[in-house]
Structures are given as structure tokens and as C-alpha cells.
Structure 1
């Protein structure tokens, strides 16, 4: 582990992933935490953790961004004390409004709702992390009977404020960069000791299209969509079979 992005979701974490990838780092983003490390984070949420847990989880990756890893930035840094820490920030009210728009957009995506009913992988990998998502962002996840994801905006702002203050107070000053994506390549590359790429700094997820993009790009989301189709076919087949059996039973009785 070389770089820990401790900034909250919606502070440019997707842009940071793209930028770090361009600079040659292997990066774990939120799908990787959720799918590749789901059992570890489930245990962490329910039982607790040790420094060795995080060392084992992230020993083969260069950088980490987004939830739930950002919630444990200091524990990860204890496991990798030479890693540099980047705190991505933006205006608090702007951040809360952006997070609210993301929650609304995510709630409107049909695939995301179908996963809850028809994808065993979603149940295993995502549901385990809802507690950590609430602690990290103040988001109350949707239930199977409540479509809309609810953001407690006041709680989210408090969490955002406390998190940033804690990072700036506790992170070693010689290893910390407070960064806005609008700052561009210059300060980031200087901090990391990397040459500046000959292209604009990437700006991702500007219109809350995050989950749409992840569904297309990330293999596990494609796998969950395949599970939806298989589950739907099995349910439809079962319904047809039940109908045939019921019809024949009625016919015999008559």
C-alpha cells in the first residue's frame, strides 16, 4: 500500500481512482472492497479488527479509495506506515447535495433493486456492508419494501466535518496532502513524486452516473445481472410448473 485516499465519497474519489491508475498505481475502489473483501469487512463490522487484518487485506494493492476503506484510513495507515495519505475535500453543502443526488439516482436504477431480490451475490457481498456505509456516510440503505435510499443530511454533514478534522489532526503532516480535484495534476504529482501526465486531470461521476458506469465496467456487477436473469428464468419456470400441476390436479379431481 502506497497511497490511502481518506477523502469522503463524492469528494472526487472516482476522479482520484482514474488519476492514480494513470500514474501507474493499482487501486481498490468501492466495488473491490465490497466484492473482493466482503467477508473480511463483514467480520470487521460484526466482531472487530486488528492491524494485521488490514495488512493482509491490502498487501497486494497500491492505493485505496472510497468506502468502507476511507472509514478505516488510520487503521490501514498503521498497517502501512510508509503510505501517503490524500484527503480529498469540497464545500460541505455542495458535498451533501451531491451525495443526496447520488442516492436519488441510485434508487432509480432498476438493476440495483432487482439485485436485492434475485442476486445471491448482492445479498452476500453488499448487505454485509450496510452498517459500515451508514457509519461512513449517514446513508440509511433502502429496504426491499422501501425503494428510496434515505440520506440523513444533517448527520452526513456532521460525519463529513468530523472525518475531515480527524484526518487533518491525526495524519502525519509530512505524509498528508489536502487536495481538491480542481487543483489538477500539479500538487498531486509533486506529492507522489510522479511526472505530470500530458492530458487533463480526469473528472469522473460529475452527474451521479456512478452506478450506471459501474454496472457496465465492473465484472461483479455484470455477474449479478446474470444472476438476475437466471433467477427470473427459474422463478418463471417454477410458476409455469406449479400452474401445470395445479391444473392437472384440478382436472383429475373433476
Structure 2
């Protein structure tokens, strides 16, 4: 299966809602962190790459997927854009303050609980996310000013690198129209989906903690 969509947006920028939208538009299956949580077999290529510093084997990591969103794939957006030169790129965005608050309430607590997640492969996810965030933010994600600079530089770098006719900048809350126009598809007769709220994320962590 050929990869048709590359997601360059960081986690917590509406990627789960977009995943659901792509599936409605028949642009799935979509590789997303939700798929890794559900299937332990998808995790090793990403963990190995993060530990070694090598580029993942995308033929293995993305086998069977037509689209990719969210971390860890979004960390490798440059490499993916070269690997799948005909794929469209979507850069999901949101304001920094909302993004940073969401990270502090979701992904960072998930990483901090590494070793306590069930099933066990979710601890491997926490491991590679920890490594990825350390690399992407230079070990200073706890510094809001530094984190904001990295977050905003990421957006500008993607915009400067990917040609306009290949790139869709998609802010949270933009709805169907820009997405459908980008792919030349009709707007579905359904509300744009919403998923993986902060509460959803927190409830899932609590429900899947291993009892000591």
C-alpha cells in the first residue's frame, strides 16, 4: 500500500480527530499512536530507531497504512517526505499555550509513569516517546520559553521545506472544508469528528496502569 498522507504535526494538535476524518474520506488505514497502543507488533521499529538514532525502516513500520499522523511518525516528517515523494503533507497546528498545557496533562504524565503501564508494550511506547521528546526539545521541554521556540520553529521549518501545492496547514477547529478542498473531495454529510480529549487521555492512562 502506498502512503498517501504524511502528518507533520506534533502530538496534541488534533491528530486523532484528523485520523477519524481521514478514515471517513477513505484515506486510511491511518498510522497513529492509537494504532501503536492497540498493537504491540507496531512498536519495535520505532523503539529501535529512537534508541539507535537511525531512520526507521518505513517499509516495515508503515506497512499496510495509507496515511500517517501524530508521533512517532511526525518526528520523521522530512525522511517520510523523501521516502514517499507523492504523498501529501498535513501540518496540524494549535496555539502554543493550549498545546503546552495539553502536553503537561497527557503525554508527559504518560511518559513519567513508564514501567507501570499495561499491557507491557505501552512502556516501550513511553520509552521511545521520552527519547523522542528529549531529542526534539533538547532536553528542555520543561522550559516553556524554549519549548515555544522549538514548537514554532517546527511549524516554520515544515512550511519552508514542503512546497505549497503539497502542504496543507490545518489549525485545530478548521473543519472539513480545507481538508476536502486539499484532496479534491466532497464535504461529508457529517460533523467533523472529535477524539482523544485531555480527559479521554487521562482516563485511559488511569485505566491501564499496572497494579504493583
Question: Which range, TM-score by smaller chain?
Answer: 0.7 to 0.9
8 Å CA contact 1:100, 1:151 repeated in 2: no
Task: Establish whether residue 154 from structure 1 lines up as the match of residue 145 from structure 2.
Answer: yes
1:21 and 1:27 in contact (8 A); partners too: yes
Give the paired residue count: 207
Change in Cα spacing, 1:18 to 1:151, as seen in structure 2 (3 Å) is farther
* Long gaps (5+) in structure 2: none
Structure (1 or 2) with the greater helix fraction: 1
Aligned positions of 1:117-196 closer than 5 A:
120-136=120-136, 151-196=142-187
Note the aligned Cα RMSD (angstroms).
Answer: 3.1
Larger radius of gyration: 1
Q: Does 1:27 align with 2:18?
A: no
Shift of 1:69: 1.0
Contact 1:138 1:152 in 2 (8 A): no
Match of 1:40 in 2: 45
Question: Could you tell me how far apart the structure 1 residues matched to 2:190 and 2:118 are?
Answer: 42
User: Aligned to 1:86, what secondary structure does the other structure show?
Assistant: strand
Q: How far, CA to CA, are the matches of 2:43 and 2:135 in structure 1? A: 16
Per the TM alignment, residue 97 of structure 1 is displaced from its structure 2 partner at its CA by 2.4
Distance 1:93 1:85, change over 3 A: same
2:47–2:127 CA contact under 8 A, matched in 1: no
CA contact (8 A) 1:68 1:136 kept: no
Query: Retained in 2: the 8 A contact 1:19–1:201?
Result: yes
* Higher relative contact order (Cα pairs below 8 Å, separated by 6+ residues): 2
Normalising to structure 2: TM-score of the pair? 0.80
Displacement of 1:198 in angstroms is 0.6
**TM-score, with structure 1 as normaliser:** 0.68
1:79/1:92 Cα in 2 relative to 1: closer, same or farther (>3 Å)? same
